[in-house]
């Protein structure tokens, strides 16, 4: 039975061995006869061919490459012929083209996988049978580990689940162990330095088969997609969670040596666990259905189109508030979170005339979010405390010793204040999805709710996310 992981012989570049073994002999001869021409630390074949493949960024580099081409040609290396053959391999071997993309990466692949070792064996007097054995190992590695696949892994900071794998519709989450995380980043240590313990070990994983010629652009695109799902989690319930970095990984595994060249990630890994790892954003299998429901609703074409329409003042206010609420998830200092949360709150509720500013914001938030009279009263008082702390910070009137000792404002306090702001952003969004367009009209509705209990219940009912989802997903 055929092995589906093995690239068929007829799909491989014919005569590859007839190219690699002579090139290995040339490398071995140059290293022996022209000692020092190729640095001991360099990959020899790549070093020799680079002057024909590399792009000069300035005149000095152009002169350097020209000089090296003359030196290597004098030593017996035919760079033009090698460049032509590498281009022919890329053009006619689909697997190597998908894995290596271009001739420079292909040269690196051939050097790592065959030429460097073969040249050393030739210098030591190895027989042709030994070289043929090495080439068979090379073919097994290059063609025997399956077709090319690009995998994006986006780290979910502070996310925890006891389930090793979770599926939220079209989003897949995997929990990885420490050695695997270290390997995908490109570190050589058993435990990752870049990804410290306590920051969460779950990743949003997406895969793509076929060509991925620009993996830098692709990994940024996948990170952006993962962040959209992460926003659903940020609003689904209270807790700190966000995408802080993304890593590309490739199959077969040898491709990572060619495409990544060492440690590689995009984003900013957080060095310190949130609150010493005592307040993870935890999701279990019982949460999956509800989160998937939210995610599916977000992706509905009509809802997504409405969210993307930025013409109206209500959507503009919600978008500004959302930007700063989401920013508070990734900020490491409580004082920075305090400012972001204040901007989010003001984007929603600040009155146009600025009169009785704190009172009116506190009243509006408590009326929209508080579900009972005692809860509204407590939320009103808490919002005024929040604003008092915010004013001390922005006006430079805070206790400097308390600030330096981390006691002026804490993560616990920010978490408590973030909760009603999260709910308010959601409620503004629901009202917008129901057809409201003007922020001033919504603020007027909320003001009237303070005077009439029935008006209050109506606006809270109409802005409730679960009620809205029950209607649109029915």
Question: Domain map of the chain by residue range?
Answer: 9-143, 149-282, 300-472
Please indicate whether residue 405 or residue 312 has the higher confidence score (pLDDT): 312
pLDDT in tens, 300-314: 999 999 999 999 999
The predicted pLDDT at position 104 comes to 95
Rounded Cα distance, 336 and 408, in Å = 12
User: Which two structure tokens, joined as six digits, stand for 172?
Assistant: 């897949």
Q: In this model, does residue 359 exceed pLDDT 90?
A: no
The predicted pLDDT at position 2 comes to 42
Q: How many of the other CB atoms lie within 10 Å of CB of 189? A: 12
The predicted pLDDT at position 357 comes to 73
Please indicate whether residue 387 or residue 369 has the higher confidence score (pLDDT): 369
Please indicate whether residue 1 or residue 5 has the higher confidence score (pLDDT): 5
Closest CA to 19 of 95, 118, 145, 102: 118
Q: Across residues 39-62, what is the average pLDDT?
A: 92
CB 252 within 8 A of CB 148: yes
The predicted pLDDT at position 255 comes to 95
User: b/e for 256-283, b at 16 or more Cβ within 10 A?
Assistant: bbbbbeeebbebebbeebbeeeebbbeb
The predicted pLDDT at position 3 comes to 52
The predicted pLDDT at position 260 comes to 86
Sign of CA dihedral 18, 21, 24, 29: negative
DSSP, residue by residue, 354-372:
-TTHHHHHHHHHHHHH-SS
pLDDT band at 354 (very low <50, low <70, confident <90, very high): low
Average pLDDT of the chain is 92
The predicted pLDDT at position 4 comes to 67
Q: In this model, does residue 133 exceed pLDDT 90?
A: yes
Rounded Cα distance, 221 and 225, in Å = 6
- 408: which residues sit within 8 A by CB, 6+ positions away? 334, 335, 389, 392, 393, 398, 399, 402
Q: Across residues 159-178, what is the average pLDDT?
A: 95
CB 250 within 8 A of CB 143: no
């Amino acid at each position: 039975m055929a092995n589906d992981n093995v690239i068929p012989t007829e799909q491989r570049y014919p005569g590859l061995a007839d190219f690699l073994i002579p090139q290995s002999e040339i490398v071995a001869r140059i290293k022996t006869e022209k000692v020092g021409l190729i640095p001991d630390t360099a990959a020899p074949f790549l070093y020799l061919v680079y002057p024909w493949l590399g792009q000069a960024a300035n005149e000095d580099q152009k002169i350097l490459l020209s000089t090296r081409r003359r030196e290597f040609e004098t030593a017996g290396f035919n760079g033009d012929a090698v460049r032509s053959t590498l281009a022919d391999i890329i053009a006619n071997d689909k697997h190597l083209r998908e894995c290596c993309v271009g001739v420079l990466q292909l040269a690196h692949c051939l050097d790592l996988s065959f030429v460097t070792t073969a040249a050393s064996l030739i210098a030591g007097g190895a027989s042709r049978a030994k070289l043929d054995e090495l080439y068979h190992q090379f073919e097994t590695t290059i063609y025997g580990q399956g077709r090319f696949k690009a995998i994006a892994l986006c780290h979910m900071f502070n996310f925890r689940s006891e389930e090793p794998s979770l599926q939220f519709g079209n989003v897949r989450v995997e929990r990885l162990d420490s050695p695997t995380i270290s390997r995908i980043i490109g570190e050589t240590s058993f435990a990752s330095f870049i990804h410290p313990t306590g920051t969460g070990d779950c990743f949003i994983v997406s895969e793509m088969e076929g060509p991925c010629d620009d993996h830098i652009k692709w990994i940024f695109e996948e990170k952006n997609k993962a962040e959209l799902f992460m926003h659903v989690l940020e609003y689904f319930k209270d807790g700190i969670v966000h995408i802080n970095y993304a890593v590309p990984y490739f199959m077969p595994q040898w491709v990572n040596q060619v495409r990544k060249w060492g440690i590689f990630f995009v984003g900013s890994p957080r060095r310190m666990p949130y609150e010493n790892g005592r307040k993870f954003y935890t999701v279990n299998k019982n949460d999956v259905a509800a989160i998937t429901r939210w995610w599916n609703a977000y992706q509905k074409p009509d809802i997504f189109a409405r969210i993307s329409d930025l013409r109206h003042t209500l959507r503009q206010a919600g978008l500004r508030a959302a930007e700063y609420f989401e920013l508070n998830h990734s900020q490491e200092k409580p004082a920075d979170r305090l400012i972001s949360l204040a901007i989010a709150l003001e984007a929603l509720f600040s009155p146009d005339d600025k009169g009785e500013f704190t009172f009116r914001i506190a009243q509006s938030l408590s009326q929209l979010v508080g579900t009972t009279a005692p809860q509204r009263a407590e939320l009103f008082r808490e919002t005024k405390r929040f604003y008092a702390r915010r004013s001390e910070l922005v006006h430079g009137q805070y206790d400097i010793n308390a600030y330096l000792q981390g006691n002026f404002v804490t993560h616990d306090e920010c978490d408590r204040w973030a909760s009603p702001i999260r709910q308010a952003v959601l409620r503004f969004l629901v009202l917008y999805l129901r057809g409201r367009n003007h922020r001033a009209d919504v603020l007027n509705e909320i003001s009237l709710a303070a005077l009439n209990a029935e008006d209050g219940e109506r606006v809270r009912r109409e802005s409730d996310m679960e009620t809205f989802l029950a209607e649109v997903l029915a």
